[in-house]
Amino acid sequence: MIPESILLHLKTTAGIIVSHSQPAGGGSINSAARLDTNNGRYFIKWNQDVSTDFFQKEAEGLQTLRDANHPLRVPAVHSVLNPSQNSPGYLLMEYIEENRDGDSRRFGAELAKLHSNHSEKFGFHSDNYIGNLPQSNNQHKNWNDFFITERLEPQLTQSINSGKVNSSVKHNLNRLEARLDELIPPCKPSLLHGDLWGGNYLFDMDGNAILIDPAVYYGHPEVDLAFSTMFGGFSDNFYRGYESVSPLAPGFEERIPIYNLYPLLVHVNLFGGSYTRQLHSILRKYK
C-alpha cells in the first residue's frame, strides 16, 4: 500500500491522482510500486528510514547521467519528497516497461561512451550514497589518492568501529594502498554509474539498456566494469561491446579485485558474513 501521506503529496503538489498501484521490486532498501494515475503510469519508491537527502541525491545522480553525452537511457525524475517525521520520502520516476532481454553488446559500447564524459578531478561536487551508506566525493587530482581517501578508508573505519573486521585488515589494506601507484594505470576522471551490478540496469521493450539506482562520481572507468563482475548479470557480449569502443589496458583482470575492495567493504558494513571472508581472501594476495 502506498502511504496516504505520499498519495496526498502527489495530489496536492503535482495533481497526480493514483487509481491503482502494483508492487514492484525496489531493491533491499526501499518499497516500490508501479502507479496508474490520471496522468499515465509512473514508478515510485519510498522509505522513511533513510537520510533526509537520500532521494534528492539519487535524483541528482539520475539527472547527471541524463545530462551527460551518451546514448544510454536514464529514467526521468518527476517528483521528490524528503522523508520526515510525518511522511516517508519518495522518488517518482518515469515508468519504463521492462524486457527480459536486450542488446548487451550495444549496452557495453554505450557504457564506454558514458565513460568518455570527463572532469578535471576525481570525485563529485557533492556527496551521495551507495546503498544507504554515505559516499564521500571530495575531489582529488589523483585517482589513487581519491580511491584511498574517499572510498577505502571511510568504509574501513566504519567496519572496524562496528567490529566487523579487525586491525589485521587495516594493516593489510594499508600495505596494498602503498602499492596502488604501481598496480593501477593513470586515467582521466570518467563519469561513472558507481553501483553497476546486475540489479541496477534493465532493458526496455526495444532492447535499450536503462541505468537505474546510480551512485555517480568521476572515477577510474575500470571501476564500473570491475563492479559488474561481482554478482554476475553481464554477458561476454557486454564486455566485447565496451572494448569495441574503449579497449581496456593490459592487466585489467588482475586489477578487478583491487577495485572491488570498495563494494566489498560496503557489503561488509551492510551485511557482514561471507563478504568479510572475501575481503580477507583478496588482501592475502597482496601481502
pLDDT digits (tens, 9 = 90+) for 16-58: 999 999 999 767 789 999 999 999 999 999 999 999 999 999 9
pLDDT in tens, 232-269: 889 999 999 999 999 999 999 999 999 999 999 999 99
Evaluate if residue 172 carries a pLDDT over 70.
Answer: yes
Q: Is residue 48 located within the same domain as residue 158?
A: no
Count of structural domains within the chain: 2
Q: Is residue 164 located within the same domain as residue 91?
A: no
Q: Given this model, what pLDDT does residue 233 score?
A: 86
Active site residue 195: yes
Q: Which residue has the higher pLDDT, 28 or 272?
A: 272
Last residue within a domain, chosen from 32, 61, 95: 95
* Mean per-residue pLDDT of the chain: 96
User: Which domain does 33 fall in, by range?
Assistant: 4-95
Q: Which of 153, 161, 160, 34 is nearest to 98 (CA)?
A: 34
| CATH number for 113 | 3.90.1200.10
Q: Is residue 231 located within the same domain as residue 113?
A: yes
Last residue within a domain, chosen from 50, 74, 95: 95
Q: Average the pLDDT over 127-149 and give the result.
A: 98
Q: Is residue 137 located within the same domain as residue 257?
A: yes
Evaluate if residue 287 carries a pLDDT over 80.
Answer: no
Last residue within a domain, chosen from 95, 117, 133: 95
Encoded amino acid at 250, one letter = P
Q: Is residue 145 located within the same domain as residue 246?
A: yes
In the set 36, 49, 195, 224, the catalytic residue is 195
Please name the residues in contact with 137: beta carbons below 8 A apart, sequence gap of 6 or more.
Answer: 123, 124, 125, 126, 127, 128, 150, 217
Q: Cα 213 to chain center, whole Å? A: 6
Q: Given this model, what pLDDT does residue 26 score?
A: 65
| CATH number for 26 | 3.30.200.20
